[in-house]
Amino acid sequence: MIRRVASRPEVLVPAVALCVMLIAFLCTPLMNGRALTSFDIFNTFQGLAQLGLLTLGLGLTMIAGEFDLSVVGSYALGGMIAVRAGQSSPVLGVLAAVAAGAGIGAVQGGLIARLRIPSLVVTLGTYIALLGLTSAMSGGLDVTYNNTSATLWLDQPIAVIFSTPSLVALAAFAVAAVILGGTRLGRDIRAVGGDRRASRVAGVRVDRTLVGLFTASGTLAALGGALFSYSYATANPNPGFQPLILSAVGCLVAGVSLAGGRGLPAGLLAGALSVALLGQIDAITAIPDYVTELLYAALLGVIVAIDAPGLRRGLDRLRARGRTVATQTTEQGTHA
Amino acid sequence: MTTASSVLRRVAVRWRADPLDVGIVLVVLAVIVAGALTTRFFSLANGRAILASSAWVGITAIGATVVMIAGSAVSLAVSQTATVAAMIFLETQQFGLPAAIILTVASGVAITALQGAVIGFWTANPIVLTIAAGFAIDGVAIWISGGTTVYPRNAAFGSLNDTPAGLPLAVFVLLVLAVAFQWFLRRTTAGRQMYLLGENPAAARAAGLPVGRVTVIAWALFGGCIALTGIFLAAFNTSANSSLGGTLSLDVIAAVLVGGTAIGGGKGSALRTLGGAVLIAAISDLLLLRGFSTGIQLLVKGILVLMVVIAIHVRSNRRRR
């Protein structure tokens, strides 16, 4: 049983990472002498709300063997559209943002599936174009969201530790878990990521699955951006590359491989939660930024090592050599 | 008469076979027409401005071309590496300009070749590895510099800001690098091996190609180019902080892709990347002269990248059939 879990990185890696982060989080009072409050947990879930939907969107495309760089673009555009269209009716703003994200995702998915273009380059182009579009919409400036009552309502604590955005994020993960775990679509997604040619031959509707996935990632990213700019009462035309990098870290911590075919929504949740916990630990203990960066580097270093076939081959060779040496010495021992 | 028409037909067939070239020609024509309708676009001063603004991205993009051809796709640690190179360059000013340049290029080569070694020998994923490397490089840089801006104790770099013939020195470096790398890729064994490795890594390995070594060489050259960009950034800004690199990582990828290099490796050329960098700069300049915001400039750049990428794949799909 343990061996089976240990050989599945999509279970082992996020479980270990989440445990380590939880222990570190629980140990923060030792560093600054202040006991943890429910507000710290609330803030951790707020962090999850910020990055969770991006992580889920990116992670779903990664499970299918693609990489949607444009999620940060849809995130920025979603925030801007929501603030622009939702000054009087927040729901209308969210709907407009989500529609834009879905449309962009569907077009990209169509290009990637029909023309078989690597998603990295298509989504890079879209990312640059969307940042430009968002910036052109606002003249390059932050746009304030004046609907204060919506902002206040959105960040009200629910059941002490949750808020609407964090519950939305958790619900999205739950839906993804049900779809990936219990439906034919879920099996198709994994098959498309594992071996595309074989799944085409086996009758999986690869193109439709890809279009659906990119539509999902665009939608989730735009929704995340909309909720984020409501809760901060501003839309930032250029959130930078950092949100993408952090959600990629979340996905990789979830044990999702860039080669595709591997990963679980529960793992993605654990990955996003680990990143959110680390962010909250930073905020509580005020450890310098560079320490966090070095931690991320170390974390990704471990993941690189786990996923590098060449390194594994090298280690196997070493182990095999060690074994032959060992048998030789025992043989010599018996002869003597 | 028949020969003339058959030649024409052959030309037409060849033309149709290459949507990428058709697309690029159309874009260039559009730029020329729009440029002719824009006052001051076709002036010597503006030509210089275009070249000057393409130089920093272009120098690194030439190096990135080699890495992409060799099949390692992209690096997301370019901004951080350039920033660190700029810091090292400013910190070593007291040893004089030549020593500072050599030390900076050597550290750029070392940092980047190390990543290349992990990718080449252990077949690590370049995207994950370079994200990790970006964190590590940035983290160490902030740790050592204390997160403050680095100022040089003495400025030996003044001559790097010279403008012989009205052009910044960086432009000449860019042109020389483009020609040198083109020669390297086409005419040397190591260069040819990079195309083979990018085209089909399994075949390259089976053919006994030194995959690890070739990959390391590609990344080392890339590191040298990033360091040169860092040096020019430092000399121009006369100081360096952790945000100096800016969006260099993505600008570089955009320039390489617009130059028609395939992300999957095996195809591409340094001269085309030079063309890509200059084309992006020319379009941005044109939009600027016509009074469009930076947002619109970014939007057009993104659409250009998309169009080129689509054209490349339409072409290669057609060839496959």
**How much of chain B, in percent, has pLDDT values that exceed 90?**
44
Residue B317 in any domain: the answer is no
Q: How far apart, in whole angstroms, are the C-alpha atoms of residue A252 and residue B206?
A: 31
Model confidence at A302: pLDDT above 50: yes
Q: What is the DSSP string of B23-73?
A: HHHHHHHHHHHHHHTSTTTTSHHHHHHHHHHHHHHHHHHHHHHHHHHTT--
AA identity, residue B275: G
Q: Do B147 and A289 touch (CB under 8 A)?
A: yes
**Angstroms from A251 CA to nearest CA on chain B:** 11
Q: Which of B252, B313, B315, B318 to mutate to test the interface with A (most CBs of A within 10 A)?
A: B313
For residue B134, give its domain range: 56-278
Q: Do A132 and B295 touch (CB under 8 A)?
A: yes
Q: Do A125 and B143 touch (CB under 8 A)?
A: no
Residue B147 in any domain: the answer is yes
Summarize the confidence of residues B231-256 as an average pLDDT: 88
Q: How far apart, in whole angstroms, are the C-alpha atoms of residue B296 and residue B284?
A: 9
Q: Do B303 and A139 touch (CB under 8 A)?
A: no
Summarize the confidence of residues B25-42 as an average pLDDT: 85
Residue B4 in any domain: the answer is no
Mean residue pLDDT of chain B comes to 87
Which residues lie closer than 8 Å to B314 by C-beta, 6 or more apart?
A115, B19
The pLDDT tens digits of the residues spanning B55-82 come to 999 999 999 999 999 988 788 999 999 9
Summarize the confidence of residues A307-324 as an average pLDDT: 78
The pLDDT tens digits of the residues spanning A210-248 come to 999 999 999 999 999 999 999 988 998 888 888 888 999
**Angstroms from A218 CA to nearest CA on chain B:** 17
Summarize the confidence of residues B169-185 as an average pLDDT: 94
Q: CA dist B66 to A58, B19, B69, B175, B315, Å? A: 28, 24, 5, 16, 22
> Using an 8 Å Cβ cutoff, are B309 and A122 in contact?
yes
Number of compact structural domains in chain B? 1
Candidates B127, B298, B313; nearest CB to A135: B298
Residue B11 in any domain: the answer is no
The pLDDT tens digits of the residues spanning A261-292 come to 888 999 999 999 999 999 999 888 888 888 88
Residue B1 in any domain: the answer is no
Model confidence at B224: pLDDT above 50: yes
The pLDDT tens digits of the residues spanning B85-133 come to 999 999 998 888 999 999 999 999 999 999 999 998 888 888 889 999 9
Model confidence at A53: pLDDT above 80: yes
**Angstroms from B219 CA to nearest CA on chain A:** 18
Spell out which residues of chain B touch residue A293, defining contact as CB-CB under 8 Å: 135-136, 138-139, 142
Q: Which pLDDT value is given to residue A177?
A: 94
Which of B115, B135, B134, B112 has its CA nearest to residue B125?
B115
Residue B215 in any domain: the answer is yes
Spell out which residues of chain B touch residue A119, defining contact as CB-CB under 8 Å: none
Spell out which residues of chain A touch residue B314, defining contact as CB-CB under 8 Å: 115
**Angstroms from A288 CA to nearest CA on chain B:** 9
Q: Which pLDDT value is given to residue B16?
A: 54
A 10 A CB-CB count for B146 gives 9
Confidence of residue A50 (pLDDT cuts 50, 70, 90): confident
Residue B39 in any domain: the answer is no
**CATH (one of 1.10.10, 1.10.3470, 1.10.1060, 3.40.50) for A2-287:** 1.10.3470
Nearest chain B residue to A135 by CA distance is B295
Tell the residue number behind the tokens 């409501």, with chain if given.
A230
Spell out which residues of chain A touch residue B143, defining contact as CB-CB under 8 Å: 288, 290, 294
Which residues lie closer than 8 Å to B124 by C-beta, 6 or more apart?
A304, A305, A307, A308, A310, A311, B118
Q: Which pLDDT value is given to residue B18?
A: 67
Angle at A54 between CA A14 and CA A4, to 5 degrees: 20
Summarize the confidence of residues A44-60 as an average pLDDT: 93
Model confidence at A331: pLDDT above 50: yes
Q: Which pLDDT value is given to residue B275?
A: 92
pTM value is 0.88
Which of A241, A252, A260, A244 has its CA nearest to residue A299?
A252
Summarize the confidence of residues A120-145 as an average pLDDT: 91
Q: Which pLDDT value is given to residue A317?
A: 81
Q: Which pLDDT value is given to residue A336?
A: 43
Q: Interface pTM (ipTM) of the complex?
A: 0.86
Q: Do B298 and A248 touch (CB under 8 A)?
A: no
Residue B263 in any domain: the answer is yes
Domain range summary for chain A, segments of one domain joined by +: 2-287, 289-336
